[in-house]
Amino acid sequence: MKENSPVFLDDDQPHDECGVVGIFAPNENVASMAFFGLFALQHRGQEAAGIAVANGFTIRLHKDMGLVSQVFNAGNMEPLQGHYAIGHTRYSTTGSSSLHNAQPFMVETQHGPIAVAHNGNLVNSAVLRQELLQRGVGLTSTSDSEVIIMMLAGARGSTWNERIRSVMKKWVGAYSLVILTRDGVYVVRDPWGFRPLSVGLLPGGGHAAASESCALQTLGCVAIREVKPGEIITLSKSALTVHQAIPPNPRQAACVFEFVYFSRPDSTWNGKSVHEVRQHLGRQLAIESPVEADVVIPIPDSAIPGAIGFSEQSGIPYNIGFVKNRYIGRTFIQPTETLRQQGVALKFNPLPATVRDRRVVIIDDSIVRGNTTGPLIRLLREAGAAEIHMRITSPPILHPCFMGVDMGTYEELIAHRLSVDEIREQAGADSLAYLSLEGMMSAVGSTNGYCTACFSGKYPVPVQRQLEKASFEPQENGNND
């Protein structure tokens, strides 16, 4: 393992989501505002963080590995003076963990310096990369975010709006971007609307953008609205300007996994409260897969609203069955071998008073590789649970995500390799049931406009299903309609 690589303890959640913020706030400490915005998005990325600030002439950047609170201090924030800022917090698998990939990326262009922070993944980045290399553009990483900034650097047009628009037409896939120039922040969302991005009015004047509305609320924003697919919103001077740069794709593809796991429950996604949708997912699951039991417990924290919904619908009392150490999920300190063998016990302690001699329904939001389910069930058995019924508030994950979420390969996805009953047996549960795809979409409240590809295999954009394949396969179907 590389020095500097975080240790992912007992983690069975999708990775590679990122959080971005953009700020225009004259007469305010924009770096500090970006810091607190990123702080509210820490759940979207815990490996590296960075802030770039523009003062009308230059851009200054600081980024490093670690949590937002570890990367920044009064000393390295001090030079970040200006009116405009962007920030990024990054997740990654251990292997690709390095400062090299930390964002924002920054380059000099003939129109002045620019910095870019990106959430998402371009599915055609390999082709775009080749085009750049053939034009003699040097690249330092395999990151699609570097492809984005180098294409922006060479884009044609007399304004940044025109230049951004000209390259948006070539990008296929997920991109929620904040782009910093000397004197503006450009907030850009792909025409499919894969990943979230919102803007709001700051209380002291100016505007902010962030991956999730919870970060804008933290900054005291009002009049928060989601950036529409295909829009470029410019934060500069006193006004916010909105430009529908390219038409929204007829098949919208908002990531349904934002409801299942990624977003904070106090965020709004695609016009709906994440917390409320998660409760609906739990209710629907109780309707589809009822069970006789004494107590419903969540895997903290993302499954809490689902467990509340399951409890309300089923009438089975809700309680806390695990206490989670929220700060140990990723650490740069190498655990000893003995501690590493503790696995999930380093992160979760069961509460025997809740589960002893009881029939327990345990609610989780998803099972990805399946490496934590068995150990959690063992902890419950050791704490005296009489029966353990596992209920999952999403369908089995059968396909990888190519739009910026690291769920692993087909081979790594447990539901791709094993049947539901085989997963149950391997985990040691008395029963296991997932929410159906139809049930999930009914809880979300719509069957159209969402990407469900990791569950359904219906990718909204053409994807390269096997990395070793040289060419893109045609898209299998449209969206989940």
Q: Which stretch binds ligand SF4 (CB under 6 A): 225-233, 282-290, 398-406, 426-434?
A: 398-406
Q: Is 18 a catalytic residue?
A: yes
CA distance linking residue 346 with residue 327, whole number of Å? 10
Among positive and negative, which fits the CA dihedral 371, 375, 377, 380? Answer: negative
C-alpha to C-alpha distance for 466 and 137, rounded to whole angstroms: 27
DSSP string covering 311-367: HHHH-PPB---EEE-TT-SEESSPPPHHHHHTGGGGTEEE-HHHHBTSEEEEEES--
Residue 35 makes contact with ligand SF4 by CB under 6 A: no
Nearest distance from C-beta of residue 263 to ligand SF4, angstroms? 11
What angle separates helix 437-444 from helix 274-288, to the nearest 10 degrees?
Answer: 140
Does 261 bind ligand SF4 (CB under 6 A)? Our answer is no
Nearest 10 degrees: Cα torsion 212, 214, 217, 223: 50
Q: Determine, following the binding rule CB under 6 A, whether residue 101 of this chain makes contact with ligand SF4.
A: no
Note whether 257 binds ligand SF4 by CB under 6 A. yes
Q: Is 306 or 375 the residue whose CB approaches ligand SF4 more closely?
A: 306
Residue from 368, 451, 461, 463 that binds ligand SF4 (CB under 6 A)?
Answer: 451
Query: Quick one: tokens of 221?
Result: 């924003």
- Tokens representing 429 are 């549960």
Q: Using CB under 6 A, which residues numbered 295 to 314 contact ligand SF4?
A: none
233 counts as binding ligand SF4 under rule CB under 6 A: no
Counted residue by residue, the chain has a size of 481
Hey, which residues between 403 and 442 contact ligand SF4 (CB under 6 A)? 403, 405
Residues 18, 221, 255, 401: which is the catalytic one? 18
| Stretch near ligand SF4 under the rule CB under 6 A, chosen from 140-148, 255-263, 431-439, 440-448 | 255-263
Of the pair 132, 453, the CB lying nearest ligand SF4 is at 453
Q: Which is nearer to ligand SF4, 145 or 217 (CB)?
A: 145
Q: Does 256 bind ligand SF4 (CB under 6 A)?
A: yes
Q: What angle in degrees, to the nearest 10, is found between the helix axes of 420-427 and 373-382?
A: 50
Q: Which of 394, 452, 479, 480 binds ligand SF4 (CB under 6 A)?
A: 452
Name which position in 53, 68, 209, 453 contacts ligand SF4 (CB under 6 A). Answer: 453
CB crowding 247-274: b at 16 or more within 10 Å, else e: ebbebbbbbbbbbbbbbbbebbbbebbb
Least Cβ distance, residue 461 to ligand SF4 (angstroms): 10
Span near ligand SF4 by CB under 6 A; candidates 40-48, 278-286, 376-384, 400-408: 400-408
Is the Cβ of residue 6 or residue 196 nearer to ligand SF4 in the bound state?
A: 196
Cβ(32)–Cβ(67) below 8 Å? no
- Which lies closer to ligand SF4 via its Cβ, residue 48 or residue 401? 401
Of 67-75, 176-184, 253-261, 433-441, the window that binds ligand SF4 (rule: CB under 6 A) is 253-261
Asked whether position 401 contacts ligand SF4 by CB under 6 A, the answer is yes
Q: Which of 266, 276, 275 is nearest to 213 (CA)?
A: 266
**8 Å CB contact between 274 and 266:** yes
- Cα separation, 87 vs 51, in Å, equals 4
Q: How far apart are CA 283 and CA 276, in angstroms?
A: 11
Smallest distance from the beta carbon of 463 to ligand SF4, in angstroms?
9
Closer to ligand SF4 by Cβ: residue 17 or 231: 17
Residue whose CB is less far from ligand SF4, 303 or 403: 403
105/257 with CB nearer ligand SF4:
257
3-class DSSP string for 73-88 = CHHHHCCCCCCEEEEE
Sole window of 4-12, 249-257, 383-391, 428-436 interacting with ligand SF4 (rule: CB under 6 A): 249-257
Cβ–Cβ under 8 Å, residues 53 and 81: yes
Smallest separation (angstroms) from ligand SF4 to the CB of 144:
15
Best CA proximity match to 410, nearest among 422, 421, 398, 402: 398
Task: Give the Cα separation of 390 and 299 in Å (integer).
Answer: 10
Bond prior to 298 in cis (omega within 30° of 0): no
> In angstroms, rounded to a whole number, what is the distance separating the alpha carbons of residues 176 and 22?
11
Nearest-approach distance from CB 321 to ligand SF4, in angstroms: 27
Angle formed at CA 100 by CA 97 and CA 103, multiple of 5 degrees: 90
194 near ligand SF4 (CB under 6 A): yes
- Nearest approach in angstroms of CB 140 to ligand SF4 is 27
218 vs 452, beta carbon nearer ligand SF4: 452
Q: Segment near ligand SF4 (CB under 6 A), from 54-62, 233-241, 351-359, 450-458?
A: 450-458
Q: Would you say 360 or 397 has its CB closer to ligand SF4? A: 397
In whole angstroms, the minimum distance from the beta carbon of 436 to ligand SF4 comes to 16
Among candidate residues 94, 91, 97, 86, the one with its CA nearest the CA of residue 38: 86
Q: Kindly state whether residue 255 participates in binding ligand SF4, applying the rule CB under 6 A.
A: yes
| Region near ligand SF4 per CB under 6 A, out of 184-192, 221-229, 424-432, 452-460 | 452-460
- The span from the CA of 408 to the CA of 386, in Å, is 34
Catalytic residues: 18
Binding-site ranges for ligand SF4 (CB under 6 A) = 194, 255-257, 401, 403, 405, 451-454
